[in-house]
Amino acid sequence: SVDLHISNELVDLIEEGFDLAIRTAELEDSSLIARRLLDSQWIICATPSYLKKNGHPQTPEQLQSHECLMYKFDNTSNDIWPLYVDGTEQLLPVNGRFNSNHLSAIKRALLSDLGIAFLPQALVYEELQQNTLTQILQDFTRKKMGMYAVYPKARQPDQKLKLLVEHLRQSLQQKQAYYC
């Protein structure tokens, strides 16, 4: 049986009794075993109507005059976006009046023409294919985040957990176009 818990909070797997977590982040906790499932590409995008009304940024600096929709994780707003200029990562401050700790809420705001967002490609893949969203500044974005199956070291994973992790990995690999 599966008891699914969805949260943006970083839960303590051991303390809270979880067998497995799926995390998209830089991992730091050495008391956990992490199996990379795949890398998730992030992109900058907006609706065609937002770009028509507000202009189409051609350089990272032009983002500073746009409404940027920002992901707020762990009570900190991501108002600095990592962009690449001449092959060097630059941390660009952006502005905006919409922040959320939930990527789906940012996607909804994005689709409502409220601004420009920096999101995982997988979250907006279908909208990009349908031209509901337009990717911008491709030459300046290289952000990739690993997606991991994470479980406590102290617990020897049983066969069911191993099979679940392998199933997740294979399922994600089959939809690799969504992520890369």
Q: How far is Cα 45 from Cα 114, in angstroms, rounded to an integer?
A: 12
Burial of 16 (0-12, 13-18, 19+ CB in 10 A): exposed
Instruction: Say which residue the tokens 């952000």 belong to.
Output: 143
pLDDT at 77: 58
Where do the structural domains in the chain lie, given as residue ranges?
41-140
Q: Do residues 56 and 136 lie in contact, with contact meaning Cβ atoms separated by under 8 Å?
A: yes
Cα angle value 103/106/112 (rounded, 5°):
145
pLDDT < 50 regions, the chain: none
pLDDT at 160: 84
Backbone region of residue 171 per phi and psi (left: phi > 0; alpha: psi in -120 to 50; beta: other values)? alpha
Question: Can you give 159-173 as a three-state secondary structure string?
Answer: HHHHHHHHHHHHHHH
Fold annotation for 41-140: D-Maltodextrin-Binding Protein; domain 2 (3.40.190)
Q: Do residues 64 and 96 lie in contact, with contact meaning Cβ atoms separated by under 8 Å?
A: no
- Render pLDDT for 103-145 as a digit per residue (tens, 0 to 9): 999 999 999 999 999 999 999 999 999 999 999 999 999 888 8
pLDDT at 29: 61
